[in-house]
């Protein structure tokens, strides 16, 4: 299940209290609403968020329409949020605008760690980009790309997910020649500072915590780290998994 204890959410938000003040890859693009960027401000319609559903005893989710954005010429989408008042993840949804589709077809539903910890960019050419916290790690963000295909928005796979974040080895950690390899190319001693360069790609809604990380050592060597998941304690661990 995607639902997580409220405590973990609180820890995450405590670690990242000022995301709105941090740079994102989209900062050079026009900002039409908080965390929403476009190529041309005329793509965006919506002066203020519209409350679609207030939490009640039968449905604790707050639903809000942030506005309407032009994804591509002739294709307008309503950008909406779902805020669970008890657990997370939270969700962004992109629907065909009701003015164009009375059925309000859902094209994309994206889980995120926190609504205020994300940024969108719509270039107007049929693509959408999301910059959000990485599920499996504490702090790093990744950029996801979605393309209009077959009447839906689908994620464009990347060879790797860029992480580019420093961390520390909590115990002696071997680095391997491949994500599933067994040949050790470097060994990082406990307390060493390393740079996590990237993560093996997985779809945005895949929350498997064991995906391999590409790591650079203080000597400049590069190898793959596999997170210890109870199967092989000898694979070591990094502090990038810890949020407190």
pLDDT digits (tens, 9 = 90+) for 162-186: 999 999 999 999 999 999 888 999 9
Q: What is the pLDDT of residues 81-138, one digit of tens each?
A: 999 877 778 999 999 998 899 999 999 999 888 888 899 999 999 999 999 988 777 7
Q: What is the CA radius of gyration of the chain?
A: 20
**207 or 193, which is more confident?**
193
Task: Provide the edge-to-edge strand list for the sheet that holds 160-168.
Answer: 160-168, 193-200, 213-216, 222-225, 173-176, 184-188
Entry pTM: 0.83
Nearest to 199 by CA among 159, 169, 228, 160: 160
Q: Give me the domains of the chain, ranges plus CATH numbers.
A: 6-156 (no CATH), 161-241 (2.30.30.40)
Residue 113 confidence (pLDDT): 84
Residue 186 confidence (pLDDT): 96
**7 or 45, which is more confident?**
45
Whole-angstrom distance, CA of residue 42 vs CA of residue 235: 51
Whole-angstrom distance, CA of residue 144 vs CA of residue 204: 8
Q: What are phi and psi of 119, to 5 degrees?
A: -150, 140
């Amino acid at each position: 299940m995607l639902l997580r204890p409220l405590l973990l959410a609180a820890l995450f938000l405590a670690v990242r209290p000022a995301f709105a003040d941090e740079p994102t890859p989209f900062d050079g693009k026009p900002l039409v609403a908080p965390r929403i960027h476009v190529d041309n401000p005329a793509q965006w319609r919506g002066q203020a968020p519209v409350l679609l559903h207030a939490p009640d005893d039968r449905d604790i989710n707050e639903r809000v329409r942030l506005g309407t954005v032009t994804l591509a010429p002739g294709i307008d989408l309503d950008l909406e949020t779902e805020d669970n008042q008890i657990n997370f993840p939270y969700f962004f949804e992109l629907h065909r605008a009701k003015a164009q589709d009375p059925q309000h077809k859902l094209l994309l539903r994206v889980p995120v760690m926190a609504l205020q910890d994300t940024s969108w960019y719509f270039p107007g050419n049929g693509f959408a980009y999301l910059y959000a916290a990485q599920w499996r790690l504490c702090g790093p963000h990744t950029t996801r790309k979605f393309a209009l295909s077959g009447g839906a928005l689908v994620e464009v796979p990347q060879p790797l997910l860029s992480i580019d974040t420093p961390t520390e080895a909590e115990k002696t950690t071997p680095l391997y020649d491949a994500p599933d390899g067994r040949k050790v190319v470097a060994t990082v001693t406990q307390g060493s500072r390393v740079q996590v360069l990237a993560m093996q790609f997985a779809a945005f809604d895949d929350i498997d915590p064991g995906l391999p990380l590409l790591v650079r050592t203080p000597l400049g060597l590069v190898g793959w780290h596999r997170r210890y998941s109870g199967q092989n304690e000898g694979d070591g661990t990094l502090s990038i998994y810890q949020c407190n």
